[in-house]
Amino acid sequence: MRRAAPNRYTLETSMRKTVLRALLLVVSFALAPFGFGEDIHPITHRKIAQVMGSAGADWLVRPERESEEHPDEALDALKIPKGAVVADVGAGVGYFTWRLAERVGPSGVVYGEDIQQEMLDLLNKNMLERKIANVRPILGTIVDPKLPKDALDLVILVDVYHEFSEPEKMLDRIRESLKPNGRLVLLEYRAEDPKVPIRPEHKMTVKQVREEVQPEGFKFDQSIEILPLQHIIVFRR
């Protein structure tokens, strides 16, 4: 007997269950050995999420992530030119890093930053396997991503900003790394939508992001709403 094709409700329900299971995995691998930062943001009173450890790295490359997050569509919306100098802060294993590297091309540079050497080791391995030579790994800290000053066209934070335990200090250092009018881009799960099955501390509203980022010297540019679950929020130096 031929089975009926899954309807939209079935697909959406399956995706939500997958995301929920994935988040539970994130929480189970959450770590806090990187210093004593803030637990609550002083402006929005948002609970700051814990950092996922390298033991949860497989979740970052789960097969369903592409259909859930549409990473290529997100980067296409940013129109990153060839030859650009960009940074993937909180790069993890490099899921977005290699995509950025392909977009900027051999004449461009991508800094892949993380605060865990184990993640950077995996990032290096993934870049070697893909024969990508324009990525420069950087071991940062919870207060400084160690990026070159006045050098970057774009800094992207993919599901990362809500984990910053020292967000004000990190934003200050990121702003210093950007060229005049350079872009800071945050991808964050939409807290405005109760149907997004992510724990509250792993979601943010556009209002929260703006209230936290703009006081650090950034100008709001736009919020791009094309992804199934996430905001793309763009600021300028």
Q: Which of 171, 179, 110 shows the shortest CA–CA distance to 142?
A: 171
Residue range(s) defining the domain that contains residue 54: 8-236
What are the residues facing 30 on neighbouring strands?
52
Reported confidence tier of residue 55, pLDDT bands at 50, 70, 90 = confident
CATH code of the domain containing 75: 3.40.50.150
Q: List pLDDT tens digits, range 148-160.
A: 999 999 999 999 9
Residue 232 belongs to a domain = yes
Residue 133 belongs to a domain = yes
Residue 2 belongs to a domain = no
pLDDT for res 62: 81
Residue 191 belongs to a domain = yes
CA 17 centroid distance within chain: 21
pTM across the whole model: 0.84
Cα separation, 59 vs 69, in Å, equals 13
Mean pLDDT is lowest, of 32-36, 67-71, 74-78, 162-166, for: 32-36
Number of domains in the chain: 1
CA 170 centroid distance within chain: 14
Residue 1 belongs to a domain = no
Pair 216, 175: CB distance under 8 Å: yes
What whole-number percentage of the chain has pLDDT above 70?
84
Q: List pLDDT tens digits, range 107-142.
A: 999 999 999 999 999 999 999 999 999 999 999 999
Pair 89, 143: CB distance under 8 Å: no
Those residues whose C-beta lies under 8 Å from the C-beta of residue 235, and which sit 6 or more positions away, are 183, 184, 185, 186, 213, 214, 218, 219, 220, 221
Residue 222 belongs to a domain = yes
Pair 236, 219: CB distance under 8 Å: yes
Chain position carrying tokens 């967000």? 167
Q: Which of 43, 12, 50 shows the shortest CA–CA distance to 29?
A: 50
Residue 47 belongs to a domain = yes
Residue 69 belongs to a domain = yes
